[in-house]
Structure formats: structure tokens, C-alpha cells
Amino acid sequence: MLTDYHVHLRPDEDGTHASEYFTAANVDRYRSAAAEHGIGELGVSEHVYRFVQTLEVWDHPFWQASAQDDIDAYCEFVRGQEGLKLGIEADFVVGREHRMANLLEARDWDYVVGSVHFLRDVAVDMRGEWDIWRSADPDKVWARYFETLGEAARSGMFDILAHPDLVKVWGKGAPAPEGDLRRFYELALDGIAESDVAIEVSTAGLRKPVGEIYPAPEFLDMCIEIGRPVALSSDAHVPEQLGYEYERAVEWLAERGIAELAVFEGRERRLEPIG
Ligand SMILES: [Zn+2]
Ligand SMILES: [Zn+2]
């Protein structure tokens, strides 16, 4: 059983409208791609900041510019599509946890994917105005990123911890710490150990400048050792990215002795054998 849960029906670019992408025809394209790649469990997880209701959680200018859709219309649309699980990609924003938790708890997801994109008001994975790398000490950013990731896990708000070492996204295109990176992963580990969260293995990193699966194998091994299960996703933003490089991911998982994946329904988790 292969899964793809961290999936977006619409691209991130400006000027797109939900009405063009939240359609049965578009879902069909994703369903066909899933069938092609042998993905038995398909779900979508739109960015929470695309929805107007999120402005009650945080009024960051980027969120203000992005929030256009109605979250309940999205839920209703996805619930009307056969064989499609309902998820959401929700940001962990320090100081806004309770407001975000209220927004999430009011709706009946199959799963919630939790992401750390922002550290205070700058992001680790955005170019332009909100780029943390315009002026930052890599050791400080990595430390703060992994501390925040641990807090996200500990918050209990999320079923899946998305792209767990997203901070590496730019590869050589951003400053990075020297030496053994496990000293940073350690900072997230207590929070992850105290949580019941599944760790996302994401092939999206292979499409990004870093050219690696998220998370680094050393980090995943640490999470496995403390008993965390794995959730597999592509973070596709178009049907062509669904199940992206899964052959490679499945081989990579087998090398690490991982034989089961987390499967979700109504925020309940079970494990299914990969194959
Ligand atoms: Zn993300
Ligand atoms: Zn995503």
C-alpha cells in the first residue's frame, strides 16, 4: 500500500483560483496519476493560509495576500470526491497555536499535516521579501528551526510532521551549518518523542535545489529509533508530481528497514505494509 497524502490540488503561484482546481475533472487527473503509480491511498492537504478563516489565526502580510478561499467549501468539495481523503497542511506558528488548534478542531479531517515554514515572520523556504536567508546565521536558523519543529510535534495539533528538515531546501543556495547535523536534529527529538506524530518522508526535496529526500536519513533513523511511524508523500502541486520518484523512496525506505506506512481516516492512524 503506497500513500500520497501531502498533495495540493492547486499550484502555489499567484493568480490561480480555487474554482479552476477544486473540480471533479482535476481530481480525476490526480486519481489517474495515483493509479499509474500504484498509490492506493490518496488525500489532499491544501495550505491553510489559502483560506480566509486563517486570517483570524495570523495576519502575516503573505497570509493576507494568499487567503482567498473558504475552508468549509474546500472540505465539502473534497468530501464529495470518492476515494479522496481530506487533509490540510497547517503551519505551526509560535504564539498562534491555540487559534490554529481551534480552526483545525472545528472540522473533520482525515489527517492534519503540520509544517514549519515560518520562524517569526520570515520563512525558511521563500525567496523575496520574507526570505530568512537574506540575513541569517545558519547555525542559529537551523537551531531555531529544529526547536520549533519539536514544539510543533509536542503541540499534538498534527498527525504528520511535514518535510521534517525543510530548512535544507536551498542546498548550496543558502548558508548551511558545518559538520555533523545531528546536533540540530537532537533539538527536535524530545518533542517528537513526547508526541504521537508520524514522520513524513517526502520526495519533494528531490525536486528542490537540495535534491534530497526530506528528511535526511540520519534524522529519520533517530525518529524511527524512538518509535515514530512513517508517512509517505510527494507534496505534489500538479498531477504530474504525484508519486514523484516513489521507486527511489520505496528503495530508500527498504534500506532503512521500514516496511509499513501510516494510513489515516478520521484522524485515526493504522499501519499498512508497503508491499
Ligand atoms: Zn510545506
Ligand atoms: Zn505542501
Measure 238 CA to ligand 1 centroid, in angstroms.
15
What b/e string do you get for 175-212 counting C-beta neighbours within 10 Å, with b at 16 or more? ebbeeebeebbebbbebbbebebbbbbbbbbbbbebeb
First-to-last C-alpha distance (Å) of the chain: 6
The predicted structure's pLDDT at residue 179: 96
- Taking the centre of ligand 1 as the mean of its atom positions, its distance from the CA of residue 251, in whole angstroms, is 24
pLDDT value of position 15: 78
Q: How far is the CA of 68 from the centre of ligand 1 (A)?
A: 18
| pLDDT in the model for residue 204 | 98
Amino acid at 146: F
- Ligand 1 centroid vs 28 CA: distance in angstroms? 23
- Cis link prior to 164 (omega < 30° from 0)? no
**Cβ-contact 159, 264 below 8 angstroms:** yes
Cα 109 to middle of ligand 2, angstroms = 16
| Distance in angstroms (rounded) separating the CA atoms of residues 56 and 70 | 13
Beta bridge partners of 236: 7
Report the separation in Å between the CA atom of 260 and the middle of ligand 2, taken as the mean of its atom positions: 22
Q: How far is the CA of 157 from the centre of ligand 2 (A)?
A: 17
Q: What is the structure's pLDDT at 76?
A: 98
Q: How far, in Å, from the CA of 203 to the mean position of ligand 2?
A: 11
Q: Tell me the residue length of the chain.
A: 275
Cα of 89 vs centre of ligand 1, distance in Å, is 7
Residue reference for cell 524512538: 226
* Closest ligand relative to 163 C-alpha: 1
Instruction: Please tell me the number of the ligand nearest to residue 126's CA.
Output: 1
Interval between CA 6 and ligand 1 midpoint (Å): 9
Of 230, 235, 234, nearest to 259 by C-alpha is: 230
Rounded to 10 deg, the angle between the 182-193 and 217-225 helix axes is 30
In terms of Cα–Cα distance, which of 93, 108, 194, 186 is closest to 148?
A: 93
Residues whose beta carbons lie less than 5 angstroms from ion ligand 2: 89, 235
- The sign one gets for the Cα dihedral 176, 182, 186, 191 is positive
Find residue 263's DSSP bridge partners: 270
Directed axis angle between helix 182-193 and helix 138-154, to 10°?
10
So what's the pLDDT on residue 187?
98
**Whether 189 contacts 226, CB under 8 Å:** yes
Helix (H) / strand (E) element for 255: namely: helix 246-255
In the prediction, which pLDDT does 227 show? 96
Q: What is the number of helices (H) and of strands (E) in the chain?
A: 9, 11
| Predicted TM-score (pTM) of this structure | 0.97
Angle, CA 29 vertex, CA 37 and CA 162 arms, to 5°? 65
What per-residue confidence (pLDDT) applies to 13? 83
pLDDT along the chain (275 residues), means of 10: 97 85 97 97 98 97 95 98 97 97 98 98 96 92 98 98 98 96 98 98 98 98 97 97 97 96 98 94
Q: How far is the CA of 5 from the centre of ligand 2 (A)?
A: 10
